[in-house]
Structure 1
Amino acid sequence: MRRIDLNIIRVGVGDPADPIIQRALATTNDIFAQVNISLGQVKRFDVPAHHIAGMNVIRDKNEAFELTKKWTAPGRAIDVFVVSATADWMLGASPIGGTCQKYGCVFVSGVVMQLSEPSTGNVLAHEIGHYLGLDDDEYDKSNLMHYTVPNGKKLTQSQGRRMNTHCFLH
């Protein structure tokens, strides 16, 4: 089984080991297990809002981009920025096929999401799926990559093969 490491970065919103995040990580691990991917090392960081100039509330994808440009965590891991709120239409944002060159990156170099129970686990897995190269699925509501919430937890073997080509998997 291949692994993906994560940096959970709470932006001005408290404890990075909070129970909602713990449940989201467990859900994500369960979802990815069906395509032989597991979560590896998960590091936690807490960035006070005064270091990010109020970017704990993300109103659009440009602000998400700016957040990932201003701060990154060390190591070969996907940076997952957890903010207190995003725009009403957006629970998360991630590039499709995210970079492995986080430092000095000129585009989005991480996942940005808000905590939104009960769907936080699916949102986390969905956005990591984007980062690992998956597009939205417009047709299958049972698929994790369906673009609406609630979506399902299913991943196909072809989606697993696609994610397994990403440079952050080991």
Structure 2
Amino acid sequence: MTEDLKPNYPIGPLTPHLVCDGADAAMDFYRAAFGGEVLFRLAGPDGRIMNACMRINGGTIMLVDEFPEMCSSPRALKGSPVSLHLMVDDVDAWTARAVEAGAKVIMPVDDMFWGDRYGLIEDPFGHRWSIATPQRRLSQAEIEAGMHEAIRRHMQANPA
């Protein structure tokens, strides 16, 4: 007999696990910025978050406080090579709400050559979030042509 050992909270087959310098504050930010809902929260004896799970826009993330002996936050690492991507119904509204909650704009929202309206923010805990709303469906050839045109314009504006 196979036992059902699924967790007590809903997570998908691939779930980002964010290390935060202040996981409780991060959960507050994700509630305010993205309408996040805390599904599970487990604090250790010292109050640090050992594990938490949130639902954001239909997906889930897990959070943990920084434990220097085991894991470090983007602040401790002085950045992160990872960004989380949110597909939303109104990128401008989602970005404005995140900025109002304390996020920093890295790349302002704009129409992109691949057909999305897209922007990039950094949350107060050092995690980067790309946020996008699809605007038009393009073929691979149209996307490639748009990419080449964007590179050409960038090179003209920023000669070496």
TM-score (norm 2): 0.27
TM-score (norm 1): 0.26
Q: Which has the larger radius of gyration?
A: 2
Larger strand proportion of the pair: 2
